[in-house]
Amino acid sequence: MNRSVRAALLLLGAGLAALPAGVALADPADVPVEPRSQPPYPDWMSTLIGTLRQRDPPAILMGDSLVAGWPKDLAGTLFDAEPVNFGAGGDTTANLLWRVRTAFGRGMALRSALLLVGTNDLPKRAPEAIAGTIGDILSTIRADAPRACVTVVALLPRRDGGTAYATKIRAINDRLRSMASPRVRVIDASAPLRERCPATGPCDLYKDSVHLTRTGYELVTDAVRRAQQQAPCS
């Protein structure tokens, strides 16, 4: 792929799109595996996509704005090396699959990865399609970095969308659990969020209906770390 074509493709929404309550939940069979078209990726992400293979990081976080906003000091406690944050606000599972396929390459020495993505797919895709694309991301990681131990964080609760979103999240997470293997840990870190946050009203763990405060990240990080310790990769 020449540079001009690559530059034209490096596009993504910066910032998680709002998902209002009552939005229609259409279920198209599939969506294109491509970056979001508007607005473009920030320059640092475009550069990271183009150079990640050469950097060959030992550890990485991958996902949407929930990953992009993970405090660096907290994320670092989940790895035995300083991780690269490969989170991009607005990413769907198909967007992230495109970025992984574009940035990764065979023979990477990646040892540890954390994956959290899927909340941006909820308005328009069926649970089986969302989980299926996450499975494709895992397949790409396995092919390019077979030694990597991958932690898949199940979708976290949202504070909008009512029972429609909650039902879809449960269905996706049920499918994710079936993807566990000796090199893939699937962790549900949502219990502390559900326990501390009422169904309605304010909650100090969320900035809005989707994004976490630092306190929220602290609880999720603790839950992920404990689960990693209890189920090390083999």
56, amino acid identity: D
Where in the chain does DSSP place strands (E)?
59-63, 84-87, 112-116, 149-153, 184-187
Query: What is the average pLDDT across 128-157?
Result: 97
User: 116: pLDDT confidence band, cut at 50, 70 and 90?
Assistant: very high
Q: What is the pLDDT of residues 181-221, one digit of tens each?
A: 999 999 999 999 999 997 777 899 999 999 999 999 999 99
**Percent of the chain's residues with pLDDT above 90:** 76
Cross-strand pairs, 164: none
What is the full DSSP assignment across 141-210?
HHHH-TT-EEEEEPPPP-SSSHHHHHHHHHHHHHHHHTT-BTTEEEE---HHHHHHS-SSS--TTBSSSS
Write phi, then psi, for 150 (nearest 5 degrees).
-110, 130
- What architecture does CATH give domain 58-230? 3-Layer(aba) Sandwich (3.40)
Query: What pLDDT is stored for residue 32 in this prediction?
Result: 75
Would the pLDDT of 159 be above 60? yes
Query: What pLDDT is stored for residue 142 in this prediction?
Result: 96
* Calpha distance 156→153 (Å, rounded): 8
Query: What pLDDT is stored for residue 30 in this prediction?
Result: 65
Q: Is the peptide bond before 39 cis (omega within 30 degrees of 0)?
A: yes
Q: How many CA atoms lie within 13 A of 172 on its CB side?
A: 32
Q: What is the pLDDT of residues 4-52, one digit of tens each?
A: 333 333 332 323 233 333 333 334 446 678 877 777 889 999 999 999 9
Query: What pLDDT is stored for residue 200 in this prediction?
Result: 74
Other CB atoms within 10 Å distance of the CB of residue 29: 7
Query: What pLDDT is stored for residue 13 in this prediction?
Result: 31
Domain ranges of the chain: 58-230
* Calpha distance 92→122 (Å, rounded): 9
Would the pLDDT of 164 be above 80? yes
Would the pLDDT of 129 be above 90? yes
Query: What is the average pLDDT across 169-186?
Result: 97
Q: What is the pLDDT of residues 48-79, one digit of tens each?
A: 999 999 999 999 999 999 999 999 999 999 99
* Calpha distance 196→222 (Å, rounded): 15
Apex 190 CA angle, 89 and 218, nearest 5 = 70
Query: What pLDDT is stored for residue 58 in this prediction?
Result: 97
Query: What pLDDT is stored for residue 35 in this prediction?
Result: 79
Query: What pLDDT is stored for residue 6 in this prediction?
Result: 38
User: 137: pLDDT confidence band, cut at 50, 70 and 90?
Assistant: very high
